[in-house]
């Protein structure tokens, strides 16, 4: 007789002392976990709901400006530095972790329209309505200075200054060289060592609103003009490359840092348009959801998402290829948003608005901040994959897509949707009921509709 | 060891892993070759690889870490395993295991009903005379004892050992671990059988009235109650695989129920005569029924067809299947254990146990994660050792026989978070959370139907409009004047009629040529012919 039965000795399965770790035994057999799919669905649903419960995106605000904040710059060399320029010409350098001003830079006599930090983080270039460009050395806080409660904020007034005859709207520092570009009456490229522009690009006589260097092909840059154009330039060639005219004005532009042939423009028609610079006759994606002009856009360093701010007093987060926003940030006190920036680690976003504040938000509204334990990380990863797996289920989709927005915006959205539907319906009917033999009216997709012309 | 031997060993190892991994593979393998979209193809391939990886990881875990082997009982030459008595088994196993076989001999206290908690640590006994007791049976430690003071007809643990339900004379009651009555479920009247769906937290009952009820034990609401309309029911169980409840009825049918449908999902005619016992295996593939016709039948729950049938000496009232698929059949004072009897037809039982005469079996239950069959009978309770019945490797996060208080509390919260809504109970548990693809033909048909509906509604509207008596505007002055003018025939009209007649006759009137008689109005008839190129406005001054 050969016999063996299950015979567990309790000591082998329990801990000796209370301070010992509990023993974990696993048996991964599927029979022990019946209805696995339903359980996973339930977990995905719970995770989606918890995301909404924990969605507290507001991280802090930086107040100190005495006028609306018009522009911001992040330093590519430092996570903690942020520079902002206000409508009274004052520039402030912030220490983000303490939400305090490091230095005030005074010099501009009109509104400061553009600031940009050089690639090494050592210099700040600013320009404004007073037709001057100023070059500042990036000020640093002294050791322990930010912790001193009795500290008075030092004011700096020394800068190099280049004077031009027309006001400036924007500036952007080169990603490699000691150069920067300005937008104003025309587009100019400057060296930080010379007081005269290296190149001047003119195309038409309208004001240029924004200029951005490509982060990979660093000699290429793009601009938005008040003639509703988006233009591409190459510094190595003395002439502009390409230009498209849209139906409405684009305010700001940002390159996707990971796929640097793609860029997204913030348009005054409440949408954002993503373009491939090689194929400008059609947008790759139209990002909708705002109800008023979009004022600024900035990509996350990962290139997978971007943040945009609008005149409708909201900040929205978008996936780089999504037609609708994945989150919407707003507070009662936040006014028209003029500028938005992603932090260099991609975990925070900043918004500068008319109410003289710079606000700091979490890039993922429900993200758990601080150091995560390995178990927490695993749990988050598990939840993320479950949410991804069941994202098409109606209940989960409904909860995930729901965002609370101010009533005014909610109403406006509804109204806009009605108008949009009516317009589409009409366009379709026009095509369908065109008289036989009449010139066939083409039904243009939204990605193409707003592009009027492409100019070489 | 030379390279060749290493390679051979590796090959063998890989093959072993592949074999083991089959069990753990979630979902069917889908070929991504036919998918034309690049992104979808890549996603599909990636998810397939992930599922493979997970299966291999689980197989590796099983190979190296799930170290406990299941129990075995093999006979010597010339002997059969069913010849061994419990005495022989107890004498041959180690001391620790031998302690698990015991007998609670309490004659004259009624018939005993048995239930084990989900981790197999606690044992619950209820006697028909009303004694309810809970114990940690391995330690021989009585946790609580209480007297219901009326007949107890079934006992059942709820989600953990903290609560249990007892079907009593009239109502069903919930007791806590200390034996205190917590709730009286007066909806559950005259209940004969209780079962608990642990994933859904549903207590399910059926009794003399043949009404099946599901009650949510988290917030106390009756989720559903349906009349089976098949009379008194004494055989009920639920499937671990899909949480569907199976009831055996007096007319020989077994019906399958979900709380989402007022009628049975499936109705199977299983026996000639009353169905006395129903049991379902852990994987939900086989159902075993016993009937008054003395047969024990095995059914395939995927096809609802009989697989094979066994005879019992007497009609058996008690059927149980263990975690590893052992079948226990009890009648009178005899218990038979059959091994591998579900998938293949066996000729002889694996084990037998005969209680003393007059000791009638009343209830049986296999202890989870242990090689033990608990039998409640008219003289108390007996714990039998059945080598190979239970799953040797438990999972701390599923059911832990050695769980601490903290672990139990955490487990309770985790289970409540994962509690499935009763709406998910259906025959195919994997259908939950799936998007149902609508076939192209059905899509086309629906589209066609929609178009037809649209057209017919339009036509109806048009007909309705035409039926309307249009009175509005009929009496307008201009309308009345125009109507009057219809019958007035003047020169202009005559000319038009003439022109029409000529046109039909094939004669075309040329501008500037001879005017047809009567084609011009009176005064202008003596006017000269219009010269070539005269504008329309001036033509009335000419012929």
Q: How far is CA B299 from CA A172, B50, B276, B383, in A?
A: 76, 35, 15, 28
Establish if B430 touches chain A: CB-CB under 8 angstroms. Answer: yes
Question: Dihedral of the CA atoms B255, B261, B265, B269 (nearest 10)?
Answer: 30
CB-CB neighbours of B298 under 10 Å = 21
Would you say residue B85 lies in a domain? yes
Would you say residue B22 lies in a domain? yes
Confidence tier at B512 by pLDDT (50, 70, 90): very low
What DSSP character marks residue B126? E
Q: How far is CA B66 from CA A384, B23, B24, in A?
A: 29, 15, 14
Task: Identify whether residues B154 and B110 lie together within a single domain.
Answer: yes
| Cα–Cα distance for residue pair B138/A211, rounded to 1 Å | 78
Cβ of A6 within 8 Å of Cβ of B371? The answer is: yes
The domain in which residue B396 lies consists of 81-428
Confidence tier at B520 by pLDDT (50, 70, 90): very low
Which among B199, B371, B417 is the nearest to A46, CB-wise?
Answer: B417
| Cα–Cα distance for residue pair A341/A298, rounded to 1 Å | 5
- Helix, strand or coil, per DSSP, at residue B359: coil
Residues 6 or more apart whose Cβ sits within 8 Å of residue A277: A220, A222, A232, A242, A261, A262, A263
| Cα–Cα distance for residue pair A170/B35, rounded to 1 Å | 48
Percent of chain B having pLDDT more than 70?
Answer: 96
Would you say residue B461 lies in a domain? no
Percent of chain A having pLDDT more than 90?
Answer: 80
Give one DSSP letter per residue of B381-426, joined into a string: EEEEE-TT-S-S---TTT--TT--HHHHHHHHHHHHHTPPPGGG-S
For residue A230 the two structure tokens come to 């988006």
Q: Pairing mode, if any, of strands A91-95 and A81-86?
A: antiparallel
Task: Identify whether residues B99 and B179 lie together within a single domain.
Answer: yes
Task: Identify whether residues B194 and B59 lie together within a single domain.
Answer: no
Q: Which of A329, A334, A321, A366 is nearest to A347 (CA)?
A: A366
Task: Identify whether residues B176 and B310 lie together within a single domain.
Answer: yes
Exposure on the CB side of residue A349, measured as CA atoms within 13 A? 31
Would you say residue B405 lies in a domain? yes
Which residues of chain A make contact with B371, given a CB cutoff of 8 A?
A: 5-6
**Comparison of pLDDT for B437 and A319, the residue scoring more:** A319
Establish if A261 touches chain B: CB-CB under 8 angstroms. Answer: no
Task: Identify whether residues B266 and B401 lie together within a single domain.
Answer: yes
- Find the mean pLDDT for residues B141-166: 95
Task: Identify whether residues B48 and B112 lie together within a single domain.
Answer: no
Q: What is the pLDDT of residues B467-492, one digit of tens each?
A: 877 677 778 888 888 888 887 888 88
Cβ of B73 within 8 Å of Cβ of A14? The answer is: no
Taking a C-beta distance cutoff of 8 angstroms, is the pair B408, B396 a contact?
no
Task: Identify whether residues B253 and B386 lie together within a single domain.
Answer: yes
Cβ of A27 within 8 Å of Cβ of B393? The answer is: yes
Cβ of B420 within 8 Å of Cβ of A22? The answer is: no
Q: Which of B114, B84, B87 is nearest to B98 (CA)?
A: B87
Exposure on the CB side of residue B497, measured as CA atoms within 13 A? 7
Taking a C-beta distance cutoff of 8 angstroms, is the pair B197, B416 a contact?
no
CB pairs under 8 A between A and B: 148
Which residues of chain A make contact with B401, given a CB cutoff of 8 A?
A: 8, 13
Would you say residue B478 lies in a domain? no
For residue B517, the model assigns a pLDDT of 46
| Cα–Cα distance for residue pair A428/B18, rounded to 1 Å | 57
pLDDT(B295) > 70: yes
Q: What domain count does chain B have?
A: 3
| Cα–Cα distance for residue pair B391/B323, rounded to 1 Å | 6
| Cα–Cα distance for residue pair B168/B524, rounded to 1 Å | 118
The domains found in chain A, sorted by start residue, are: 58-368 (2.130.10.10)
Domain of B299, CATH number, reads 2.130.10.10
Residues 6 or more apart whose Cβ sits within 8 Å of residue B211: B225, B226, B227, B228
What sign for the dihedral angle of Cα B423, B428, B434, B439?
Answer: negative
Exposure on the CB side of residue A439, measured as CA atoms within 13 A? 1
Cβ of A7 within 8 Å of Cβ of B93? The answer is: yes
pLDDT(B508) > 70: no
Confidence tier at B528 by pLDDT (50, 70, 90): confident
For residue A199 the two structure tokens come to 């190149």
> How close A11 gets to chain B, by Cα (Å)?
10
Would you say residue B433 lies in a domain? no
**Comparison of pLDDT for B129 and B439, the residue scoring more:** B129
Any bridge partners for residue B131, and if so which?
B147
Cβ of A26 within 8 Å of Cβ of B240? The answer is: no
Q: What is the pLDDT of residues B312-361, one digit of tens each?
A: 999 999 999 999 999 999 999 999 999 999 999 999 999 999 999 889 99
Confidence tier at B150 by pLDDT (50, 70, 90): very high
Residue with tokens 């994962």: B418
Would you say residue B463 lies in a domain? no
Exposed/middle/buried for residue A106 (C-beta within 10 Å: 0-12, 13-18, 19+): middle
Confidence tier at B525 by pLDDT (50, 70, 90): low
Would you say residue B448 lies in a domain? no
Average model confidence (pLDDT) across chain A: 93
For residue A291, the model assigns a pLDDT of 96
> How close A389 gets to chain B, by Cα (Å)?
10
Taking a C-beta distance cutoff of 8 angstroms, is the pair A349, A342 a contact?
yes
Taking a C-beta distance cutoff of 8 angstroms, is the pair B173, B179 a contact?
no
Cβ of A5 within 8 Å of Cβ of B93? The answer is: yes
Taking a C-beta distance cutoff of 8 angstroms, is the pair B351, B386 a contact?
yes
Please give the residue of chain A at the shortest CA–CA distance from B429.
Answer: A35
For residue B486, the model assigns a pLDDT of 80
Which residues of chain B make contact with A37, given a CB cutoff of 8 A?
A: 429-430, 432-434
Residue with tokens 């009516």: A422
Give this complex's ipTM: 0.82
Task: Identify whether residues B200 and B286 lie together within a single domain.
Answer: yes
pLDDT(A24) > 70: yes
For residue A110, the model assigns a pLDDT of 93
For residue B514, the model assigns a pLDDT of 46
Which residues of chain A make contact with B383, given a CB cutoff of 8 A?
A: none
For residue A146, the model assigns a pLDDT of 87
Task: Identify whether residues B237 and B143 lie together within a single domain.
Answer: yes
Q: Which of A450, A366, A426, A433 is nearest to A47 (CA)?
A: A366
For residue B507 the two structure tokens come to 């004669």
Last residue of a domain, one of B428, B463, B493: B428
Which among B75, B370, B435 is the nearest to A1, CB-wise?
Answer: B75
Q: What is the pLDDT of residues B237-281, one digit of tens each?
A: 999 999 999 999 999 999 999 999 999 999 999 999 999 999 999
> How close B496 gets to chain A, by Cα (Å)?
31
Residues 6 or more apart whose Cβ sits within 8 Å of residue B308: B297, B298, B345
Which among B76, B392, B433 is the nearest to A37, CB-wise?
Answer: B433
Cβ of B73 within 8 Å of Cβ of A25? The answer is: no
Task: Identify whether residues B171 and B294 lie together within a single domain.
Answer: yes
Give one DSSP letter per residue of B293-314, joined into a string: TSEEEEEETTTTEEEEEEE-SS
Which among B421, B424, B435 is the nearest to A392, CB-wise?
Answer: B435
Q: What is the pLDDT of residues B355-381, one digit of tens each?
A: 998 899 999 999 999 999 999 999 999
Q: Which of A324, A321, A311 is nearest to A276 (CA)?
A: A321
Task: Identify whether residues B270 and B384 lie together within a single domain.
Answer: yes
Percent of chain A having pLDDT more than 70?
Answer: 100
- Find the mean pLDDT for residues B203-222: 96
Query: Residues of A numbered 38-57 whose beta carbons fall under 8 angstroms of chain B's beta carbons: which are they?
Result: 38-44, 46
Residue with tokens 């079948």: B327
For residue A440, the model assigns a pLDDT of 67
**Comparison of pLDDT for A173 and B439, the residue scoring more:** A173
pLDDT(A78) > 70: yes
> How close B418 gets to chain A, by Cα (Å)?
6
Residues 6 or more apart whose Cβ sits within 8 Å of residue B378: B107, B110, B111, B112, B358, B359, B360, B362
Confidence tier at B513 by pLDDT (50, 70, 90): very low
For residue A204, the model assigns a pLDDT of 80
Query: Residues of A numbered 2-31 whose beta carbons fall under 8 angstroms of chain B's beta carbons: which are they?
Result: 2-10, 13-14, 22-31
Last residue of a domain, one of B64, B97, B114: B64
For residue B438, the model assigns a pLDDT of 82
Task: Identify whether residues B87 and B48 lie together within a single domain.
Answer: no
Which residues of chain B make contact with A22, given a CB cutoff of 8 A?
A: 396, 404, 407
């Amino acid at each position: 007789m050969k016999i063996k039965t299950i015979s567990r000795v309790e000591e082998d399965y329990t801990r000796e002392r209370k301070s010992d770790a509990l023993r974990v035994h696993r048996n991964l057999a599927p029979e022990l976990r019946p209805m696995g799919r339903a359980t996973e669905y339930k977990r995905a649903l719970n995770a989606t709901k918890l995301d909404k419960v924990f969605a507290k995106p507001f991280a802090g605000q930086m107040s100190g400006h005495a006028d609306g904040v018009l522009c911001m710059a992040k330093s590519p060399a430092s996570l903690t530095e942020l520079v902002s320029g206000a409508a009274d010409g004052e520039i402030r350098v912030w220490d983000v972790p303490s939400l305090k001003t490091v230095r005030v830079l005074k010099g501009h006599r009109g509104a400061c329209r553009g600031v940009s930090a050089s690639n090494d983080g050592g210099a700040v270039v600013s320009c404004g309505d007073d037709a001057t460009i100023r070059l500042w050395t990036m000020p640093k806080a002294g050791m322990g200075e930010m912790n001193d409660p009795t500290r008075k904020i030092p004011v700096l007034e020394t800068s190099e200054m280049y004077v031009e005859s027309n006001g400036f709207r924007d500036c952007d520092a080169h990603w490699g060289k000691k150069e920067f570009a300005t937008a104003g009456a025309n587009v100019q490229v400057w060296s930080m060592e010379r007081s005269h522009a290296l190149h001047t690009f003119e195309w038409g006589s309208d004001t240029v609103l924004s200029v951005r260097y490509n982060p990979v092909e660093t000699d290429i840059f793009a601009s938005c003009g008040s003639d509703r154009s988006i233009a591409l330039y190459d510094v190595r060639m003395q002439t502009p490359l390409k230009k498209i005219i849209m139906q409405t004005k684009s305010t700001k532009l940002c390159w996707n840092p990971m796929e640097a042939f793609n860029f997204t423009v913030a348009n005054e028609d409440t949408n954002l348009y993503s373009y491939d610079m090689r194929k400008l006759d059609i947008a790759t994606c139209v990002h909708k959801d705002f109800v008023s002009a979009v004022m600024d856009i900035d990509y996350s360093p990962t290139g997978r998402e971007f943040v945009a701010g609008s005149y409708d007093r909201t900040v929205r987060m978008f996936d780089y290829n999504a037609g609708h926003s994945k989150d919407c940030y707003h507070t009662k006190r936040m006014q028209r948003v003029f500028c938005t920036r992603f932090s260099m680690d991609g975990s925070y976003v900043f918004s500068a608005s008319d109410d003289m504040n710079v606000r700091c938000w979490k890039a993922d509204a429900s993200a758990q901040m601080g150091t995560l334990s390995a178990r927490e990380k695993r749990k988050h990863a598990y939840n993320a994959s479950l949410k991804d797996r069941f994202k098409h289920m109606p209940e989960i989709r409904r909860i995930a897509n729901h965002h609370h927005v101010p009533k005014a915006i909610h109403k406006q959205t509804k109204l806009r949707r009605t108008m949009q539907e009516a317009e589409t319906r009409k366009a379709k009917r026009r095509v369908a009921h065109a008289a036989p033999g009449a010139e066939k009216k083409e039904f243009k997709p939204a990605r193409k509709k707003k592009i009027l012309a492409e100019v070489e | 060891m030379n390279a060749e031997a290493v390679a051979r060993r590796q090959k063998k190892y890989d093959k072993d892993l592949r074999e083991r991994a089959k069990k753990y593979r979630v979902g069917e393998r889908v070929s991504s070759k036919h998918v034309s979209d690049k992104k979808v193809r890549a996603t599909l391939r990636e998810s397939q690889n992930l599922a493979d990886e997970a299966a291999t990881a689980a197989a590796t875990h099983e190979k190296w870490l799930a170290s406990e082997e299941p129990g075995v009982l093999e006979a010597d030459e010339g002997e059969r395993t069913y010849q061994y008595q419990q005495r022989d088994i107890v004498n041959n196993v180690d001391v620790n295991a031998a302690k698990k076989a015991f007998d609670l001999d309490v004659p004259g206290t009624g018939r005993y009903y048995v239930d084990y908690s989900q981790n197999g640590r606690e044992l619950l006994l209820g006697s028909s005379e009303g004694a309810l007791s809970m114990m940690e049976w391995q330690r021989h430690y009585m946790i609580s004892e209480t007297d219901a003071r009326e007949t107890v007809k079934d006992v059942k643990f709820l989600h953990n050992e903290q609560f249990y339900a007892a079907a009593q004379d009239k109502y069903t009651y919930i007791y806590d671990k200390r034996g205190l009555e917590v709730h009286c479920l007066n909806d559950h009247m005259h209940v004969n059988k209780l079962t608990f769906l642990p994933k859904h937290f549903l207590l399910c009952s059926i009794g003399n009235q043949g009404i099946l009820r599901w009650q949510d034990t988290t917030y106390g609401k009756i989720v559903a109650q349906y009349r089976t309309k098949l009379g008194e029911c004494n055989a009920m169980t639920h499937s671990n695989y899909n949480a569907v409840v199976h009831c055996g009825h007096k007319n020989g049918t077994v019906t399958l129920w979900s709380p989402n449908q007022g009628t049975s999902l499936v109705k199977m005619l299983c026996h000639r005569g009353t169905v006395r016992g129903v049991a379902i295996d852990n994987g939900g593939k086989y159902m075993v029924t016993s009937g008054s016709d003395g047969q024990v039948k095995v059914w395939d729950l995927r096809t609802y067809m009989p697989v094979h049938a066994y005879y019992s000496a007497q009609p058996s009232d008690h059927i149980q299947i263990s975690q590893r698929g052992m079948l226990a059949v009890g009648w009178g004072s005899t218990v038979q254990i059959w091994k591998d009897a579900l998938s293949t037809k066996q000729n002889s039982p694996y084990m037998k146990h005969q209680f003393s005469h007059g000791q009638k079996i009343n209830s049986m239950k296999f202890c989870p994660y242990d090689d033990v069959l608990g039998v409640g009978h008219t003289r108390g309770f007996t714990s039998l050792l059945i080598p190979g019945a239970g799953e040797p490797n438990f999972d701390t996060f599923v059911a832990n026989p050695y769980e601490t208080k903290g672990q139990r509390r955490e487990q309770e919260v985790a289970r409540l978070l994962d509690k499935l809504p009763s709406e998910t109970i259906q025959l195919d548990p994997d259908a939950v959370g799936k998007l149902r693809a609508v076939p192209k033909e059905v899509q086309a048909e629906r589209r066609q139907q929609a178009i037809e509906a649209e057209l017919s509604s339009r036509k109806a509207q048009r007909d309705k409009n035409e039926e309307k008596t249009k009175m509005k505007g009929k009496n307008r002055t201009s309308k009345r004047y125009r109507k009057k003018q219809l019958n007035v025939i003047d020169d202009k009209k005559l000319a038009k009629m003439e022109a029409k007649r000529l046109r039909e006759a094939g004669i075309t009137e040329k501008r500037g040529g001879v005017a047809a008689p009567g084609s011009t109005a009176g005064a202008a008839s003596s006017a000269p012919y219009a010269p070539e190129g005269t504008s329309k406005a001036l033509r009335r001054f000419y012929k």
